Chains A and B, each alone.
Chain A
Amino acid sequence: MFISIAYFFQIILLQSVENPTSYQAEKINKLFNYFNIAAACMLLLVCFLVIFICIKFKEKKGDEREPKQTTGNKKIEALMIGIPALLLVWFFYQSLTTMHAVASPVPAGTEPDVIITGHQWWWEVDYPKANVVTANQVHLPVGKHLLMEMRSADVIHDWWVPELGNKMDLVPKINNYLWLDINKPGNYIGACSEFCGAQHAWMRINVIAQNENDFQNWLAQNSKDAVVPTDSVAIKGSEIFETQTCASCHRIQGTTATSNVGPDLTHLASRTELLTGLMKNNEENLYKWISHPQQVKPGAHMPDFKYEKDTVNAIVHYLSLLK
């Protein structure tokens, strides 16, 4: 009994925590509320029956008689089958309508607004209509009917931002689609939800939902080439970046670095976090990361290069200018 009360309390408490901020999330939340009410009634019924029967029919001392031997009752069985069956039919209907509202089929030839590609362990973000590529922090406009395309570059990942609704797997060789109508500007966090290897835990999602104007400004800023370094340390950094191994994995728009094995760094300095949510984006953390990637994020695909201090400093300085 105590357990069931704790269970309901928890669910009621969570209703205030769960905060759907998209059309899709609201639809699902509504259905989940119906379900919780039905489940709560069912659980209470079972708890009540069990406790009532346990108290009422406890063996009494000295009572040697055997109880009345009953073996069944067809009417009661019919109720046991009928009531749950009716409930389930109703939920199946609700489930179908919600599914259709949340995940309506994608008309052939529709171009997605955003393409998310999962990598071990970061998110590549493409805006094909605006020719912008970025990583990890996903800027999205509020009030639009967005179509997101989900791809994977290696293993199966999963896109999930609880406040924005349903999750979707990113499966290699298959393109999946997700509709999203965000209601409110804000910063929404999520995480990769399909186990994808050593750093699955640090494949967090950060969605920055902006008003249309802010979003267009952001797009315009991010479609530009990277800042060209002017001071000598930064120039040294950029040379190391382009001539040594960095450029074989990363992309900086406007330079010779064009690979997408690692995250795009064109406007790295305008992002607030490093390594998909592992730490804040500042020079100190960037220094730590470039010096010893395998200590900071063990298993990540960036090897320990064992650079000299000066070399790392130059690279960090260069990258921190890329606003």
Chain B
Amino acid sequence: MNQSIQIPEPASPFPGIGVSSDQGLLQWISSVDHKMIGIMYLLIALIFFLIGGAEALLMRIQLGQPVNHFLTPEAYDQIFTMHGTTMIFLVAMPAVLGFSVYFTPLMIGANEMAFPRMNSFSLWITFFGGLLLYFSFLAGGGPDAGWFNYSPLNEKNYSSSNGIDYYAMGLLLTGIGSVTTSINLIVTILHYRVKGMKLNMLPLFVWMVFVNSFLLIAAFPSLNAALAMLLLDRQFQAHFFNTANGGSALLWQHLFWIFGHPEVYIVILPPFGILSEVFPVFSRKPIFGYAFVAASSVAIALLAFGVWAHHMFAVGLGNTVDAFFSASSMLIGIPTGVKVFNWIATMYGGKIKFTVSMMFAIAFLIEFTIGGLSGIAFSIVPIDWQLTDTYYVVAHLHYVFIGGTIFGVLAGLFYWFPKMTGKMLDEKMGKWFFWLFVIGFNGTFLVQHALGMLGMPRRVFTYPDLPGYAILNLISTMGAFLMGLSVLLLVYIVYKSIKNGKAAGNDPWNGFTLEWLTTSPPPLKNFDEVPEVKSRWPLWDLKQLKEESRK
């Protein structure tokens, strides 16, 4: 039973890391350790989250009252473009990749990623892509055509600053980083699993990361091609998207959304994985319907490539095309719904511990359901014809990205912080943060459903004083500031907990999976030995065994 097996590499530290001797910043920059890289991904996500959040607050100040002159239209356009681009590519992506590269090896009993140096390359190329994107502000102005950057507005004759060139180059670089990380994760999962861990015994988080990596590799080429074509258009007068010279305005939309809709699932699948770990542990029960939760992710990943034109129902593609994409988009609702109900069923009959992590997971169920249902509204073509490109969409996408991705990431942060630092993330202050964040979030975005139905288009730098607009926008702005405040509180909690938090011990939550077997934080070499895995809950088995032997 306790037969130990040979752990894959590494046996000794990689060059560049002086673990025993503290080399400060240099040690971090030169590191190829998946745990340090994971933490750096999360720090990058946090830094850009603060920047993107500040941009959001500037927008909400501008929209706080009708016909406001706080920002010029040009400034507003750059800020909303950068807000969207930052939050997707420099916050959501690094956050999910950070957890992926930190915990995938730990959860499958491996000591490193398959390609440690490539792991480091991926991190830095992503970071430099982000820096290049932000350098645009110093080089004459940020990109100003929205994060999905529709042509021909993205062409030189309509956006003459270099912002969009930096957008294209920056995203190409971060895209390279994401694709190499995905390859790395797939090889790691396929090749470095501990003995006995079959693919159908993978912890659900790792399973979602696995599926997600394929999704990512398949989605990014479309974006990269579009960005390269755009650069050719802007720098060398090619005419892919320039309608004045015979280019196509819709080609960009197709290419962008063939990437763009899978991207939405790319940033939600790993949080789905986090929840699939958090619910069982804090309900003291295995996940309900493991196979269904796992298979529904595959269904989502496959369907993801057949739904892109639901972003384009209003461009006049015709009823036949619209009907096809309507059906495929509706289908996505089924595997997503299956997940939500399986998590609820996991809690049923359990012994629920209300830790901050679990509270975010439970809140996710409701917030994400709201976002999911408004998503179904957009798959019903005639409703989409009314509500697309309004504040209803803004509300919908924030309920999915924040209520989904960010709530999942926060559940993961409170769940795994003890493992990453050896200190508990203060639960008492964490609960304050939870309530502030939930109230702020709903205050900001719930009313935006109403604004959309009242006829307020998205991406406007201001609006006339029509009935209801002023008060609803003011509520939204106040909610946004509450959220901003709560995020500052989170930063403080993280800082305080690292400095003098309670010691966590190896296994503070009485977990089921292998990452809780090693010390907190784990040593450079994650495990000296891992027992052979016999089920989906290896640590649980181990504990039962100890209990029995004690008796």
**Could you list which residues of chain A lie within 8 angstroms of chain B, going by C-beta atoms?**
3-4, 6-7, 10-11, 13-14, 17-18, 25, 27-28, 31-32, 35, 39, 42-43, 46-47, 49-50, 53-54, 57-60, 63, 66-73, 76-77, 80-81, 84-85, 88, 91-92, 94-96, 98-100, 102-103, 105, 120, 150, 154-156, 158, 160, 162, 165-169, 171-174, 176-177, 189-201, 204, 277, 298-299
Closest to A28 in B: B382
Q: How far is the CA of A60 from the CA of B376 in the complex (A)?
A: 38
Among A32, A46, A66, A70, point to the contact of B340 (Cβ < 8 A).
A46
A235 to B293, CA, bound (A): 78
Given A72-B292, A81-B338, the answer on whether A191 and B455 have CB atoms closer than 8 Å is yes
Whether B333 and A43, one on each chain, are in contact in the complex, defined by CB atoms closer than 8 angstroms, is: no
State the Cβ distance, B349 to closest chain A Cβ, in Å: 6
Since A17-B468, A165-B386, A194-B150 are in contact, a sample of 10 more A-B pairs with Cβ atoms closer than 8 Å, ordered by chain A residue number, is A39-B377, A57-B347, A84-B337, A99-B323, A103-B385, A155-B158, A162-B455, A167-B385, A173-B243, A197-B153
* Chain B residues touching A, majority SS: helix
Contact of A200 with B449 in the complex, beta carbons under 8 Å: no
Would A166 and B457 be within 8 Å (CB), given that A3-B446, A154-B152, A196-B153 are in contact? no
Q: Mark B445-470, 1 if CB is under 8 A from A, else 0.
A: 01101100111111111111010100
Tell whether B250 is near chain A: CB-to-CB under 8 Å.
yes
B245-271 with Cβ < 8 A to chain A: 248-250
The distance from the CB of A158 to the nearest CB of chain B, in whole angstroms, is 6
Q: Which of B313-341 contact A (CB under 8 A)?
A: 314-316, 318-319, 322-323, 326-327, 330-331, 333-334, 337-338, 340-341
In the assembled complex, the Cα of A245 lies from the Cα of B544 at a distance in Å of 88
B370 at the interface (CB under 8 A from A): yes
CB distance from B43 to the nearest CB of A (A): 32
The answer for the CA separation of A251 and B376 in the assembled complex, in Å, is: 46
Q: Flag whether B516 is at the interface (Cβ < 8 A).
A: no
Q: Known contacts A72-B292, A88-B333; decide if A102 and B347 are in contact (CB<8 Å).
A: no
In the complex, what residues of B have CB within 8 A of residue A31's CB? 380, 382-383
Q: Flag the segment in B117-125, B194-202, B351-359 that touches A.
A: B351-359
From known contacts A43-B370, A100-B319, A102-B385, infer whether A201 and B460 are also in contact, taking CB-CB under 8 Å.
yes
> A58 CA to B284 CA in the complex, in Å?
11
Complex Cα gap A196–B463 (Å):
15
CB of A156 within 8 A of CB of B331, answer: no
Of all chain B residues, the one with the shortest Cβ separation from A53 is B347
> Which of A35, A176, A193 is within 8 Å of B390, CB to CB?
A193
Residue interface bits B290-321, CB-to-A below 8 A is 1, else 0: 11100000000000000000000011101100
Residue of A nearest to B369 (CB): A46
The reply to whether B284 and A3 contact each other, CB–CB distance below 8 Å, is no
Contact B450–A193 (Cβ < 8 Å): no
Q: Is B429 an interface residue (CB 8 A)?
A: no
Q: Choose among A7, A77, A299 the residue that contacts B449 (Cβ–Cβ < 8 A).
A: A7
Say yes or no: B334 contacts A299, CB within 8 Å.
Answer: no
Compute how far the CA of A131 lies from the CA of B383 in the bound complex, rounded to whole angstroms: 35
Which A residues lie within 8 Å of B341 (CB)? Answer: 76, 80
Q: Which of B291, B344, B381 contacts A95 (CB 8 A)?
A: B381
In the complex, how many angstroms separate the beta carbon of B375 from the nearest chain A beta carbon?
A: 10
Could you tell me the distance in whole angstroms from the C-beta of B221 to the nearest C-beta in chain A?
25
- CB <8 Å contact, A69 and B457: no
Q: Mark B271-296, 1 if CB is under 8 A from A, else 0.
A: 00000000000011111111110000
Q: Which residue of A lies closest to B319 (CB)?
A: A99
Q: Find the A residue at minimum CB distance from B316.
A: A176
Q: How far is the CB of A303 from chain B (nearest CB, A)?
A: 15
Q: Are B344 and A299 in contact (CB under 8 A)?
A: no
A195 touches B453 (CB 8 A): no
A252 smallest CB distance to B (angstroms)? 27
Contact A88 B334 (CB under 8 A): yes
Given contacts A10-B449, A81-B334, A95-B382, contact A168 B316 (CB under 8 A): yes
A174 to B315 CA separation, bound complex (whole angstroms)? 10
Known: A46-B369, A80-B337, A298-B74. A171 touches B380 (CB 8 A): no
A174 in contact with B316 (CB, 8 Å): yes
**CB-contact partner of B383 in A28, A154, A156, A162, under 8 A:** A28
Which among B288, B376, B461 is the interface contact of A201 at CB below 8 angstroms?
Answer: B461
Pair A50/B380 contact, Cβ less than 8 Å: no
Pick from B146, B284, B287: contact of A195, CB under 8 Å:
B146
Q: Closest CB of chain A to B373's CB: distance in Å?
A: 4
Residue of A nearest to B544 (CB): A66
Q: Known: A88-B334, A201-B460. Contact between A166 and B382, CB under 8 A?
A: yes
Question: What are 7 A-B residue pairs whose CB atoms fall within 8 Å in the complex?
Answer: A3-B442, A10-B449, A28-B385, A43-B369, A46-B344, A102-B385, A193-B458
Cα–Cα, bound, A53→B345 (Å):
9
Does B365 have its Cβ within 8 Å of any Cβ on chain A?
Answer: yes
CB distance from B23 to the nearest CB of A (A): 45
Given the contacts A6-B446, A32-B383, A81-B338, A70 and B285 also touching, CB distance less than 8 Å:
yes
1/0 per residue, CB under 8 A from A, across B358-401: the answer is 00001001110110011011001111011011100000000000
Question: CA of A156 to CA of B447 in the docked complex: distance in angstroms?
Answer: 28
Distance in angstroms from B302 CB to nearest chain A CB is: 16
B73 within 8 A of A: yes
Chain B residues whose C-beta falls within 8 Å of the C-beta of A72 in the assembled complex: 288-292
**Residues B60-81 near A (CB distance < 8 A):** 72-74, 77
**Do B153 and A156 touch (CB < 8 A)?**
yes
Interface centre among A25, A94, A198 (most CB of B within 10 A): A198
Contact call B249/A171, Cβ cutoff below 8 A: yes
Contact residues in B for A70 (Cβ distance below 8 Å): 285-286, 288, 349
Q: Is B158 within 8 A of A57, CB to CB?
A: no
For residue B350, CB closer than 8 A to chain A, the reply is yes
In the bound complex, do residue A7 and residue B370 qualify as a contact, i.e. CB atoms below 8 Å apart? yes
Kindly list chain B residues whose C-beta atoms are within 8 Å of the C-beta of A71: 286-290
Q: Knowing A4-B366, A195-B150 are in contact, say whether A57-B454 is a contact too (CB < 8 A).
A: no
Select A102's contact among B77, B244, B248, B382, beta carbons within 8 Å: B382
Closest B residue to A40 by CB, please name it. B373
* Minimal beta-carbon separation of A15 from chain B (angstroms): 9
* Residues in B neighbouring A35, C-beta threshold 8 A: 376-377, 380, 383
List residues of chain B with CB within 8 A of the CB of A200.
Answer: 457, 459-461
When distances are taken between beta carbons in the complex, the residues of chain B under 8 Å from A94 are 380
Verify A171–B250 contact, CB threshold 8 A: yes
Contact yes or no, B450 A96, CB < 8 A: no
Asked if B365 and A67 sit within 8 Å, CB to CB, the answer is no
Q: Is the CB of B292 within 8 A of A77?
A: yes
- Chain A proximity of B278: nearest CB distance (Å): 14
How far, in Å, is B175 (CB) from chain A's closest CB? 23
Cβ-defined contact, B316 with A88, below 8 A: no
Q: Which of B250, B318, B350 has the most CB of A within 10 A?
A: B350
Q: Which residues of B contact A58 (CB under 8 A)?
A: 352, 354
- Whether the pair B351, A156 counts as a contact (CB closer than 8 A) is no
Known contacts A72-B292, A197-B153; A57 and B249 CB within 8 A of each other: no
- Contacting pair B373 A43 (CB below 8 A): yes
Query: Across the interface, do A49 and B344 meet the contact criterion of CB distance under 8 Å?
Result: yes
Whether B73 pairs with A298 at a CB distance below 8 angstroms is yes
Chain B neighbourhood of A155, CB < 8 A: 150, 152-153, 158, 249
Contact of B389 among A25, A67, A194 (CB under 8 A): A194
Inside 8 A of A4's CB, which chain B residues have their CB? Answer: 366, 370
Tell me if B385 and A166 are in contact (CB < 8 A).
yes
Residues of B with C-beta under 8 A to A88: 330-331, 333-334, 376
Q: Does B342 contact A (CB under 8 A)?
A: yes
